[in-house]
Chains A and B, each alone.
Chain A
Amino acid sequence: MSYQGREYDIPAYVNALKKELALCADGQRVRSIYFGGGTPSLLSPEQVQGIMDTVHSLFGVDKTAEVTLEANPGTVDEPYLAAIRASGINRLSLGVQSLENSELALLGRIHTSAEAGQAVRFARNTGFTNLSLDLIYGVPGQTMAGWRETLEGIIEFGPEHISLYPLTLEDDAPLKLKIERGEVSPIDPDCAADQYELAQDLMESHGYRHYEISNWARAGYECRHNMVYWHNQSYLGAGVAAHSHIDGHRTANTADLDCYLSAYSNNTPLTHDLNEKIGPELQLSETVILGLRLSEGIEAVEIQRRFGIDLLRQYRQQVAEAVSLGLLECAGSRIRLTRKGRLLGNEVFWRFLPE
């Protein structure tokens, strides 16, 4: 979440965050840590260090744990990256978005294409060996040729991991208003589909494995943290608007920064924007839907072990329909999206929701 103009609250926020972590701590083992949502690179190296120390003091963090921090090009320099690298951040996710300055401007990004390249160099120079870059496609005015150039430029940077997202517009996004006023051409879903397909081909040929609908990685560099989500496993989220999934409950901390801060300064209970008990039926549904996002798909044996049901029997009709539509394929006891199905995932997913 972003809270513009609230930078002066960062110290108080970091304190609150540490308190929350302390309250949640119960000797859990931690395999991955992710600083994300909003702009965590606004934290000073000392603040990052402080949070890391807190985590290490409260939880059993694996020696090989993946520790990611999201950052935007243009906001981080070499000394900063060196410092956070030293505090244990070992994976950097850079929101490059595009290598076309006109697109960056349209997307409301403050950095330039040159700064993106610079950020990658800084990361490499400071010892980051696990680097992820984000790009956006389906941008109004983005041509196939332009998109290819951006992709090739990114591949040239040689990151271990790449995420590609189609442009989506929230209701109040300035770009959406521009489109409604006719100042910018609307998003063309067919063009976005073409761009996605081009990306699949190009990345594959450069040795990136398409391991999730929007994610590609060199072998062994799949984001371990995000795999937890797609395997529908447990995770603890801390901070304002953070989501957790623990013991069949999905919760979201309040998205109101003042509320969040006052809860920890006054030692009052934190309010939740969401507190949902996920029953077994829904749990199964979500496991299938999330699992289908992965190129490996779902293993019926795994579902049998976890839920005690026969996936292919329980969803016989849904599977048959999706297969006949060319969206899903079966391989032994595994089901997974086809190439066509990756672009039409929702048409598969909704079929697996409980009645």
Chain B
Amino acid sequence: MTQAIDKTTVRNFCIIAHIDHGKSTLADRLIELTGAMRKEELREQVMDSMELERERGITIKAKAIRLDYKANDGKTYRLNLIDTPGHVDFSYEVSRTLAACEGAVLVIDASQGIQAQTLANVYLAMEHNLEIIPVLNKIDLPSAEIERVLDEIESVLGYGTENMLLISAKTGQGVPHLLERIVQRIPPPGGNADSPLRALIFDSHYDSYKGVIAYLRVTDGRISKGDNLRLMGQGTEMEVLEVGYFAPEPCPVQTLSAGDVGYIATGLKNVAECRVGDTVTSESNGAAEPLLGYRPAKPMVFAGIYPTEADDYQELRAAIDKLSLNDASLSYEPESSPLLGYGFRCGFLGLLHMDIVRERLEREFALALLVTAPGVSFTVTKTSGQTVTVVNPTDLPQPHEIERIEEPWVSISVITPSKFIGPLMELVMGCGGMHKRTEYLGHSKTPGELGQRVQLEFDMPLRSMLTTFYDQLKSRSQGYASLDYEFVGYREAKLVKLDVLVNGVLADAFSRIVPPEKAHDIGEAIISKLKEEIPRQLFQVPLQAAVGSRIVARANIPAKRKDVLAKCYGGDVTRKRKLLEKQKEGKRKLKQIGKVDVPKEAFTSVLKLNW
């Protein structure tokens, strides 16, 4: 429908921000002001549509919206606003999205100032040579500290006050200026429509009618309906069933050409065949070099997911299969546990990703799940010279078979008021972290009582982040500290397997890989939780935590002595029988470890136990 327009009037950009700094609200305002949707059509936060999709059953994800904007120079510009995932777990996706843009609007909250993901995002944008337009958002809030934050931005990022736009995405104040600046500052796309096709996939989702929908940025060449295409990284071949863009509803077109952003419907059955970061080219006479080095996003965090009711295993399998159609970074392998039965060992990009998957399985598929404590992927070199990857603690070889264990490390960046440096240092050190750098952000003439803001950098085992780390970071800094992290590689680790024995029987699901010096404390925590949760049995039940044959913590659950309906006369029989029926039914739902009846809650709370 739209003929190829002058590339010089195209602007491809994204909005980058620390979480909750107003990215989605700004997107809404841009959509509204350019008239793509009227205010009354505009549901809150169009770009943040996951929840809405679910509730309304629509399958369109507004991952990239085309906006027509009539600028002050009288020309109409085509603005392609590309959404970026808002969490550190998805930094790979973020970097692919940035690669599809020429510019980025950097949103900074006028109360909170620069936060860890602000910096991480700026560095990523700079790596991709994006034109960055910094804006100070939420200036309408009473808590806004415009002066202080401007000062901080100038000294940390080097954007002078004269370059900063002050806006309120909520009220729309300053947003028209932002639109003008986008047009003026962000360069039009380069590339050549007559070169062989190269288009970057920056997102994809599965649609049950059209197969995988790939969102892409065409850098060179053209894509038309009916073209046969190939993914240069994965080698997947496909026919283009439909070409189009979102405005924000899908608008099919004949052709997308160099500089354009849009979607193609591929008919593919699984997003894993069409992953983010890959380059699309023509099946014949394709391009020689991909746009970016392609690597699939690699799961970093692993946990076992089991149905609470063994009968639900097939349903869980179907649910995970279905979910993974839309989530290429979710990995899963069937596994079984003597205790938990049949389930899956799943790999996630991070904890948030894990929570999302769990929640979707529970909410969308109505499954009751047991999820084991999250862990990382260890590389174990055995004395035999063989190297194995261990993602389930029960698979850790015997101590005498282990030559060396390596575990993933992350580099973390924390931004905090200086008052909290002490407690945060203590936290990171306690997690086995190593301090790398401390940098004061800005030179405020009037630091508040919390002191100057500081960026701290550490290296830390990823394993330590999978527990209460983030909660503690927040609580030790009264909520002020923000965090960003990235994977830096594998390092040697000194770790042991901590086992839990209930009545002398190994409870495999509770095993954890821990540093030896923490085995006692973690063991104590698990044992005392179990003691709290396992009801008294007809016999005394010893609970033990052990490293190899060494017991590091123990407790006994004393035998139950009294459980009887003492009063039972003519008027009580039916009511008392119902109580017994309930008791019997309850027994049926218990899992058994050895001869010990263990309620589901005991599993959940021990598996949730954060250490």
Interface residues of A (CB under 8 A from B): 37, 165-166, 168, 189-190, 192-193, 196, 213-214, 226, 228-230, 235, 237, 241-243, 245, 250, 252, 274, 276, 285-286, 289-290, 293, 325, 327, 342-347, 349-351, 353
Contacts and interface: CB of A to CB of B under 8 A. Distances in A.
A345 B580 CA distance: 10
Interface in B557-594: 558, 560-571, 573-574, 577, 579-581, 583-584, 587
B566 A190 contact: no
A134 to B, nearest CB: 10
Nearest to A355: B584
Contacts of A351: 584
* Leading 10 A-B pairs by shortest Cβ distance: A345-B564, A193-B561, A243-B571, A350-B584, A193-B562, A350-B580, A189-B562, A229-B570, A346-B563, A214-B566
A201 to B, nearest CB: 16
Contacts of B570: 228-229, 235, 237, 243, 245
Nearest to B567: A165
A187 to B, nearest CB: 10
Given A289-B577, A346-B583, A347-B538, A214 B567 contact: yes
B574 A353 contact: no
Contacts of B558: 190
A251 B573 CA distance: 11
Given A166-B566, A235-B570, A350-B587, 14 more contacts: A168-B566, A193-B562, A213-B564, A228-B570, A237-B571, A242-B571, A243-B573, A245-B570, A250-B573, A343-B561, A344-B563, A344-B564, A350-B581, A353-B584
B538 A274 contact: no
Interface of B: 538, 558, 560-571, 573-574, 577, 579-581, 583-584, 587
A353 B558 CA distance: 27
Contacts of A286: 573, 577
Name, among A193, A230, A346, the residue most crowded by chain B CB atoms within 10 Å (CB to CB): A346
B574 A276 contact: yes
A166 B538 CA distance: 20
Contacts of B563: 343-347
Contacts of A345: 563-565
A228 B571 CA distance: 12
Contact of B561 (A189, A230, A250): A189
Name, among B561, B562, B568, B580, the residue most crowded by chain A CB atoms within 10 Å (CB to CB): B562
Contacts of B564: 213, 342-346
B590 to A, nearest CB: 13
A346 B580 contact: yes
Contacts of A230: 568
Given A289-B577, A353-B580, A353-B581, A346 B565 contact: yes
14 contacts: A165-B567, A193-B562, A196-B562, A229-B570, A285-B577, A289-B577, A293-B568, A344-B560, A344-B564, A345-B563, A349-B565, A349-B580, A353-B577, A353-B584
A346 B583 CA distance: 8
A194 B563 CA distance: 13
A347 B579 CA distance: 12
B566 A165 contact: yes
Contact of B573 (A165, A214, A241, A245): A245
A353 to B, nearest CB: 6
Nearest to B580: A350
A345 to B, nearest CB: 4
Contact of A229 (B561, B573, B583): B573
Contacts of A343: 561-564
B564 to A, nearest CB: 4
A342 B561 CA distance: 10
B338 to A, nearest CB: 23
A327 B539 CA distance: 12
A306 B267 CA distance: 72
A190 B561 contact: yes
Contacts of A166: 562, 566
Contacts of A293: 568
Contacts of A325: 538
Contacts of A252: 571, 574
Contact of B566 (A213, A290, A347, A350): A213
Contact of B574 (A229, A274, A346, A349): A274
Nearest to B579: A346
Contacts of B573: 229, 243, 245, 250, 286, 290
